[in-house]
Protein backbone atom coordinates (compact mmCIF):
# COMPACT_ATOMS: atom_id res chain seq x y z
CA UNK A 1 0.00 0.00 0.00
CA UNK A 2 2.90 2.36 0.75
CA UNK A 3 4.23 2.05 -2.79
CA UNK A 4 0.78 2.54 -4.31
CA UNK A 5 0.33 5.80 -2.39
CA UNK A 6 3.84 6.85 -3.37
CA UNK A 7 3.13 6.28 -7.07
CA UNK A 8 -0.24 8.06 -6.84
CA UNK A 9 1.33 11.07 -5.11
CA UNK A 10 4.23 11.08 -7.60
CA UNK A 11 1.64 11.38 -10.38
CA UNK A 12 -0.13 14.22 -8.54
CA UNK A 13 3.18 16.03 -7.92
CA UNK A 14 4.15 15.51 -11.57
CA UNK A 15 0.87 17.04 -12.74
CA UNK A 16 1.34 20.00 -10.38
CA UNK A 17 4.90 20.38 -11.68
CA UNK A 18 3.79 20.36 -15.32
CA UNK A 19 0.80 22.63 -14.72
CA UNK A 20 3.04 25.11 -12.91
CA UNK A 21 5.50 24.97 -15.80
CA UNK A 22 2.77 25.60 -18.33
CA UNK A 23 1.44 28.60 -16.40
CA UNK A 24 4.92 30.09 -15.96
CA UNK A 25 5.96 29.52 -19.57
CA UNK A 26 2.85 31.41 -20.73
CA UNK A 27 3.34 34.42 -18.45
CA UNK A 28 7.13 34.72 -17.99
CA UNK A 29 8.56 37.67 -19.93
CA UNK A 30 12.19 36.46 -19.58
CA UNK A 31 13.76 32.97 -19.79
CA UNK A 32 10.43 31.13 -19.78
CA UNK A 33 11.95 27.65 -20.19
CA UNK A 34 14.42 27.89 -17.30
CA UNK A 35 11.97 29.71 -15.04
CA UNK A 36 9.17 27.23 -15.80
CA UNK A 37 11.39 24.26 -14.96
CA UNK A 38 12.54 25.88 -11.71
CA UNK A 39 9.04 26.90 -10.58
CA UNK A 40 7.56 23.52 -11.50
CA UNK A 41 10.29 21.79 -9.54
CA UNK A 42 9.70 23.93 -6.45
CA UNK A 43 5.94 23.34 -6.54
CA UNK A 44 6.42 19.60 -6.99
CA UNK A 45 9.00 19.42 -4.18
CA UNK A 46 6.84 21.10 -1.57
CA UNK A 47 3.76 19.06 -2.40
CA UNK A 48 5.69 15.78 -2.60
CA UNK A 49 7.42 16.29 0.77
CA UNK A 50 4.14 16.93 2.56
CA UNK A 51 2.43 13.94 0.91
CA UNK A 52 5.38 11.60 1.47
CA UNK A 53 5.83 12.58 5.10
CA UNK A 54 2.17 12.38 6.08
CA UNK A 55 0.58 9.72 3.89
CA UNK A 56 3.34 7.55 2.44
CA UNK A 57 5.81 7.10 5.28
CA UNK A 58 3.39 8.16 8.06
CA UNK A 59 6.19 10.12 9.68
CA UNK A 60 5.44 12.03 12.87
CA UNK A 61 6.86 15.40 13.79
CA UNK A 62 9.95 14.68 15.87
CA UNK A 63 10.89 18.20 16.83
CA UNK A 64 12.33 21.16 14.96
CA UNK A 65 15.91 19.86 14.72
CA UNK A 66 14.88 16.42 13.44
CA UNK A 67 12.46 17.96 10.95
CA UNK A 68 15.13 20.29 9.58
CA UNK A 69 17.46 17.29 9.19
CA UNK A 70 14.79 15.34 7.32
CA UNK A 71 13.95 18.24 5.01
CA UNK A 72 17.65 18.81 4.34
CA UNK A 73 18.29 15.16 3.51
CA UNK A 74 15.06 14.94 1.50
CA UNK A 75 16.15 18.07 -0.35
CA UNK A 76 19.64 16.70 -1.05
CA UNK A 77 18.15 13.55 -2.55
CA UNK A 78 15.72 15.72 -4.48
CA UNK A 79 18.62 17.66 -6.01
CA UNK A 80 20.25 14.45 -7.22
CA UNK A 81 17.05 13.08 -8.71
CA UNK A 82 16.08 16.49 -10.11
CA UNK A 83 19.28 16.50 -12.14
CA UNK A 84 17.98 13.34 -13.81
CA UNK A 85 14.61 15.01 -14.44
CA UNK A 86 16.10 18.22 -15.84
CA UNK A 87 18.56 16.33 -18.02
CA UNK A 88 15.78 14.39 -19.69
CA UNK A 89 13.49 17.40 -20.08
CA UNK A 90 16.13 19.72 -21.51
CA UNK A 91 17.65 17.03 -23.73
CA UNK A 92 14.29 16.12 -25.22
CA UNK A 93 13.53 19.81 -25.83
CA UNK A 94 16.94 20.45 -27.41
CA UNK A 95 16.68 17.45 -29.72
CA UNK A 96 13.07 17.91 -30.91
CA UNK A 97 12.29 21.51 -29.80
CA UNK A 98 8.59 20.91 -29.26
CA UNK A 99 6.38 21.19 -26.20
CA UNK A 100 5.42 17.52 -26.58
CA UNK A 101 9.07 16.48 -26.50
CA UNK A 102 9.80 18.74 -23.52
CA UNK A 103 6.93 17.29 -21.49
CA UNK A 104 7.68 13.73 -22.59
CA UNK A 105 11.24 14.17 -21.35
CA UNK A 106 9.90 15.71 -18.14
CA UNK A 107 7.57 12.79 -17.45
CA UNK A 108 10.26 10.21 -18.21
CA UNK A 109 12.85 12.03 -16.09
CA UNK A 110 10.41 12.48 -13.21
CA UNK A 111 9.45 8.80 -13.30
CA UNK A 112 13.07 7.67 -13.10
CA UNK A 113 13.87 10.26 -10.44
CA UNK A 114 10.85 9.40 -8.27
CA UNK A 115 11.65 5.68 -8.40
CA UNK A 116 15.17 6.31 -7.14
CA UNK A 117 13.91 8.82 -4.60
CA UNK A 118 11.45 6.35 -3.08
CA UNK A 119 14.29 3.98 -2.25
CA UNK A 120 16.49 6.77 -0.87
CA UNK A 121 13.71 8.33 1.24
CA UNK A 122 12.53 5.00 2.63
CA UNK A 123 16.08 4.00 3.49
CA UNK A 124 17.56 7.25 4.79
CA UNK A 125 14.99 10.01 5.43
CA UNK A 126 11.95 8.34 6.99
CA UNK A 127 13.77 5.30 8.31
CA UNK A 128 12.38 5.53 11.86
CA UNK A 129 9.02 4.21 10.69
CA UNK A 130 10.53 1.21 8.93
CA UNK A 131 10.62 -1.89 11.16
Run of H or E including 112: helix 99-120
Q: What is the pLDDT along the chain (131 residues), one digit of tens a residue?
A: 888 899 899 899 989 999 999 999 999 888 888 999 999 989 998 999 999 999 999 999 989 999 999 999 999 998 998 899 889 999 999 999 999 999 999 999 988 998 899 999 999 999 765 44
pTM (2 d.p.): 0.75
Amino acid sequence: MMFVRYVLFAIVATLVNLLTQEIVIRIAPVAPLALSILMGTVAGFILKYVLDKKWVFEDDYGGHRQEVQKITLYGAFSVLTTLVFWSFEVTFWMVWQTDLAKYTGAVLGLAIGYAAKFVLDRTFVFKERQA
